[in-house]
Amino acid sequence: MMHNILSLLSLLALAGCGQAPAGAAAQPRPVKPLVVGTPAAPVVVELFQSQGCSSCPPANANVNAIADAPGVLALSFAVTYWDRLGWKDTFGSPAWTARQWDYARAAGRPQVATPQVIINGGPTIVGSNRAQLEATIQRAGPAHGGPAISARNGTLTFAAGKGAPSTIWLVRYDPRTVEVPIRAGENGGRTLPHRNIVRELVKLGNWSGAVTELPLPSAPRGLRSAVLVQQGTGGPITAARKL
C-alpha cells in the first residue's frame, strides 16, 4: 500500500507542481497596459491551478491581475489531482481536471501540470511570468473564426458562418476576490486570493454553421456568465462573449 502511494505521488510530481521552468518567476507589471478584445469578443484565458500546488500562487496572482480587463475573459479552474498532498482544494472539481485532460489529449500532451494557462484553447504557458503572459495574450488576440454572438431578451443567437462543428458552453464564474486560508499541504499557512473561479460549465448545444438560437438560463446569484464556442471539447475556442 505504501509503495502504491509513493508511486502515485512520484507520478503526480512529474505533472509539474513545484517544477515551473527557469525564468518563470513573477515579473513586474509591464508599462504597456493590457488592451485586447472587447466584452463581446474577448481573449479567453483559462488558468488550471490548485491550492495544493506550491508553484501556483504566482500564476494565480498574474491571472487575478488581469481579471478586470474588459477584453479578457479570465477563468480559473481548480483541479483535483493535488488534493492527495494534504489539502483538498476548496473550489476543486473533477470536471475541471477532465477539461484540462481534454486539452492535453487534443494537443498530444502525455500529462497535465499546474499551473497552466491556455489561451483561446490553444497557446499554452506556465503563467508565472507576468510579462510573458501578457505578451502571449496580445499575440493571440480575441477568439476568432467562429460565429458572432448576441444576447437579447433571454436568448443567445449565434450567427451563420463557416467553421468546424463546435460545442457551445455556458460558463458561470465568481468575480469576487475570495481569500482562502490554506491549513495544510504545500501552501499550508498561506492565504491565497482567488478571482473568477469557475463554478459551472454547461453544454448548451452545438453550432455547425447555421444561425442558432438557444435560451439563456438565469444566472445564480453572485455569479457572472460568459459563453464559449469551442471545436470539440479540447480544441480551439473560436468565439466568446461576456454576458
- For residue 2, pLDDT beyond 70: no
Give me the residue spans of the domains in the chain: 36-242
Residue 233 is predicted with a pLDDT of: 86
Closest CA to 168 of 118, 116, 231: 231
- pTM: predicted TM-score of the whole model, two decimal places: 0.87
**Contacts made by residues 101-110, CB under 8 angstroms, sequence distance 24+:** 102/232, 102/233, 102/234, 103/234, 104/234, 105/234, 106/232, 106/233, 106/234, 106/235, 107/234
- What does DSSP assign to residue 127? -
Name the CATH architecture for the domain at 36-242.
3-Layer(aba) Sandwich (3.40)
At 200-242, the pLDDT tens digits run: 999 999 999 999 999 999 999 999 999 999 998 899 999 999 9
At 127-179, the pLDDT tens digits run: 999 999 999 999 999 999 999 999 999 999 999 998 889 999 999 999 999 99
Residue 33 is predicted with a pLDDT of: 63
